[in-house]
Amino acid sequence: MIIATAGHVDHGKTELVKALTGVDTDRLPEEKARGLSVDLGFAYHSLPDDDAILGFVDVPGHEKFIRNMLAGVAGIDLGLLVVAADDGVMPQTREHLAILGLLGMRHYIVALTKIDRVSPARVQEVTDQVSELLGEGGHEGTAIYPVCALDNEGIDALMKALRARKKEARSRNVNHHFRMAIDRVFTLKGIGLVATGMVFSGAIHTGDELILSADGSSVRVRGIRVHNSESNCAKAGERCAINIAGRGLSEHRIRRGNWLMQSSLYAPTRRIDVELQVLESEDGPLKHWTPTHLHIGADHLSARVAVLSGGAIPAGACGLAQLVASRDAFALHGDHFVLRDQSAQRTIAGGRVIDPFSPKRGRARPARLAALNALRHSSTLAALRAWTEVSETGVLIAPFSVAHNLPAPRIDTLVDALGLQRVGQGPDQRVFCETQWQTLQAKIVQAVETFHLSRPTSPGASIKDIRLSLAPRIEVAALEDALAALTKDQRLCMRGNRFHLRSHSIQFSKRDQQLLARVAPKLAPQSGTPLSLHHAAEDLCVDVKTLEAALKTACKFGDMVLIGKNRYVPKPYLTKLGAVAERLATHCPDGYFTTVDYRDQTELGRNFIIDVLEYFDRVGFTERNGNVRRIRRSADDVFKVPHDG
């Protein structure tokens, strides 16, 4: 269990940690000279009865060093609030307590120090003052232990209380991907570079590869110390020191605030959607686009606050906001953070990350706000269920998995448990809940119906027509899957590559029908080369435009394909030509054949053959390499769905 001190400067935090652990955490020469903690100090105490360890993070109390304090308290289990009996509650007593509250701290223990300097009446007075302060934050009833660190008075009782609380350590899942917030970096002679910090999630072993967030470079874990002793593994909830090695890695490429993480978590972001709590102590509301100082993990950077509804969040209130960071940051769902004012003088707000990967546009649109409200659920299952229920466009699985730190098998279990519909592949895969999936299909049918009404002579709507008429816009992969389901259920049918209602029938005009019947033998002769549009028109003594219009309609139906300029080929004839090419390739060395080979095989005119082969290249059936071609995809595959050329 990791415990952090909190409290005003000079109230005896460092002295108390020393009394509890025997370790003087003021290690810097400056700290020794000034008798003042400047940076974080660390001390560990092994409990005799079991192998548990109490880890202490001793923080500086001076207001000038709050930044350092903040780097040390993210992810800790218990706050040890230190108040000197002589001074009583002071500004940083309040500020530290507020910071821990914003960071989600639920458990405190209070040490009332320097009781040797005051009367019993004063001890009581300050006890009441501290109780009242804790009560304001909903922590009434928190135990307060009077101590004098100099002569060890009350230290045993306090230690006993701390031990008893070790059961309250935050429960952490070691099955998540590993990440650690780096708070110190140094080089040890004979060992190399060491980074220390709090392990937020997962576990690592010596020999593992990790990513350094500073530049995305890969590093290898050469050695691990957990709570100050050698180990071959470190896991969530522990403080550890990792000896890392990597190409070109040096102390100046890595700093406090960076993360060490498994590669699947490496996802820099600059737009983080959060639930924001403004401190009651603020004079006015937090306005839209306020410049602030964001503290997250052990990192700090400047960020603007975009208020997502209402234009401002009043003091003491909570609201949805987007943090727009000045540089890349790393955050996951549920991470806590603190905002200080731009000049880093005071703490103004803080909260919890809802979605670390906000879309580029439309951050305050109603649909996005509905998604954010759905994601407020703290359980991953409930969040995914709620989000898919409100999302008309489906939920992208990859960023959701990263945001919730879910290894692949775990996300699969969730998707199955919720009975979600998967569409698309790889990083573009989305999931829909059954209701939204059905709604989408109904909207598509509606769109096709509307299309028929507005274009009665068209054989049906193309995917593009359907996509353009749907709002919100649906990804093509999702649309294709929905259309496949609709055609399978025969709620929609296909003519060529167009979709129509089952009830919808259009026919060629009598004249077109006759024309097409007459032109068919010219375009697909038993022997000899098919004619071009103009020659066919001439041959039949019909107007080119009239013939072209009839052929175009046939193309829409998928009966005819325009393969090159003025070159219409009936679909079955084209399929036959494809089969010839496929057969030819199997008899050629390495499957490569020339234009002449193909011409000899088909005994058709040169110009026609060139048009055909170029069409084959375009639709991905063949692949040209100088003078030769080979088959890229099987004819079955390519000619099943007609192409417009």
Ligand X SMILES: Nc1nc2c(ncn2[C@@H]2O[C@H](COP(=O)(O)OP(=O)(O)O)[C@@H](O)[C@H]2O)c(=O)[nH]1
Instruction: List residues binding ligand X (CB under 6 A).
Output: 9-15, 35, 37, 61, 82, 113-114, 116-117, 148-150
Q: Which does 148 bind (CB under 5 to 8 A by kind): Mg ion, ligand X, none?
A: ligand X
Name the binder of 619 from Mg ion, ligand X, none, CB < 5-8 A by kind: none
Q: CA-to-CA distance for 128 and 122, rounded, in angstroms?
A: 10
Classify residue 511 as left (phi > 0), alpha (psi -120 to 50) or beta: alpha
CB of 56 to Mg ion, least distance (A): 12
With CB under 5 to 8 Å by kind, the binding choice for 114 among ligand X, Mg ion, none is ligand X
Residue in this structure with the two tokens 């050469």, named with its chain if needed: 222
Distance CA 71, CA 67 (A): 7
Q: What is the smallest separation between the CB atom of 269 and Mg ion, expressed in angstroms? A: 35
Q: Is 92 in the site for Mg ion (CB under 5 A)?
A: no
CA 82/CA 70 separation, integer angstroms: 16
Q: Max CA-CA distance within the chain?
A: 119
**14 or 388, CB closer to Mg ion?**
14
Alpha carbon distance 642, 502 (integer Å): 20
For ligand X, the closer of residues 82 and 519 by Cβ is 82
Nearer to ligand X, 13 or 340 (CB): 13
Closest residue to Mg ion in the complex (CB): 37
Q: How far is the CB of 267 from ligand X (least distance, A)?
A: 38
| Smallest distance from ligand X to CB 72, Å | 13
d(CA 77, CA 638): 60
Length of the chain: 645
Q: For the CB of residue 263, give the shortest distance to ligand X in the complex, in Å.
A: 40
Q: What angle do CA 614, 617, 619 make, to 5 degrees?
A: 110
Any idea what DSSP says for residue 633?
A: S
* Size of the residue set binding Mg ion (CB under 5 A): 3
When CB distances are held under 5 to 8 angstroms depending on the partner's kind, the choice from Mg ion, ligand X, none that residue 113 binds is ligand X
- Minimum Å gap between C-beta 13 and Mg ion is 5
The DSSP annotation for 1-37 comes to -EEEEE--TTSSHHHHHHHHHS-----SHHHHHHT--
Q: Which is nearer to ligand X, 123 or 580 (CB)?
A: 123
In whole angstroms, the minimum distance from the beta carbon of 29 to Mg ion comes to: 15
Nearer to ligand X, 153 or 208 (CB): 153
Q: Which does 149 bind (CB under 5 to 8 A by kind): Mg ion, ligand X, none?
A: ligand X
Q: Which whole-number Å values give the CA distances from 120 to 116, 147, 156, in the listed order?
A: 9, 12, 20
> Measured from the CB of residue 143, what is the shortest distance to ligand X in angstroms?
18
Indicate the residue among 72 and 350 with the shorter CB distance to Mg ion: 72
**Interatomic CA distance for residues 346 and 352, integer angstroms:** 19
Asked if 201 and 236 count as a contact pair (C-beta separation under 8 A), the reply is yes
Indicate the residue type of 476.
V
Of 346, 349, 350, 348, which Cα lies nearest the Cα of 64? 346
Q: How far is the CB of 11 from ligand X (least distance, A)?
A: 4
Residue 556's binding partner among Mg ion, ligand X, none (Cβ under 5 to 8 angstroms by kind) is none
Query: Least distance from C-beta 155 to ligand X, angstroms?
Result: 10
Smallest gap, in angstroms, from Cβ of residue 14 to ligand X? 3
Cis peptide bond prior to 291, omega within 30° of 0: no
Structure tokens belonging to residue 343: 């000049």
Within 8 A by CB and 6+ apart from 101, the residues are: 137, 350
Nearest CB to Mg ion, comparing residues 8 and 13: 13
HEC secondary structure over 162-228: HHHHHHHCCCCCCCCCCEEEEEEEEEECCCEEEEEEEEEECEEECCCEEEECCCCEEEEEEEEEECC
Q: What are phi and psi of 276, to 5 degrees?
A: -115, 130
For ligand X, the closer of residues 38 and 344 by Cβ is 38
Q: Which does 333 bind (CB under 5 to 8 A by kind): Mg ion, ligand X, none?
A: none
* CB distance 443 to 459 below 8 Å: no
Between 14 and 277, CB nearer to ligand X = 14
**How is 374-394 classified by DSSP, letter by letter?**
HHT-SSHHHHHHHHHHH-SS-
For the bound state, the minimum distance from the C-beta of residue 183 to Mg ion, rounded and expressed in Å, comes to 16
Closest CB to Mg ion among 37 and 201?
Answer: 37
* Partner in contact with 97, chosen from ligand X, Mg ion, none, beta carbon below 5 to 8 Å by kind: none
Out of ligand X, Mg ion, none, which partner does residue 643 contact, by CB within 5 to 8 A per kind?
none
If the CB atoms of residues 37 and 436 are measured against Mg ion, the closer one turns out to be 37
Nearer to Mg ion, 58 or 512 (CB): 58
Token pair belonging to 518: 């007459």
Q: Name the binder of 532 from ligand X, Mg ion, none, CB < 5-8 A by kind.
A: none
Give me the residues paired with residue 422 across strands.
431
Site for Mg ion in 12-41 (CB under 5 A): 13-14, 37
- Radius of gyration (C-alpha) of the chain in whole angstroms: 35
236's contact among ligand X, Mg ion, none, with CB below 5 to 8 A by partner kind, is none
CB of 83 to ligand X, least distance (A): 10
Partner whose footprint covers residue 15, from Mg ion, ligand X, none (CB < 5 to 8 Å by kind): ligand X
* Closest residue to ligand X: CB criterion: 12
11 binds, among ligand X, Mg ion, none (CB under 5 to 8 A by kind): ligand X
Is the Cβ of residue 69 or residue 474 nearer to Mg ion in the bound state? 69
Binding site for Mg ion (CB under 5 A): 13-14, 37
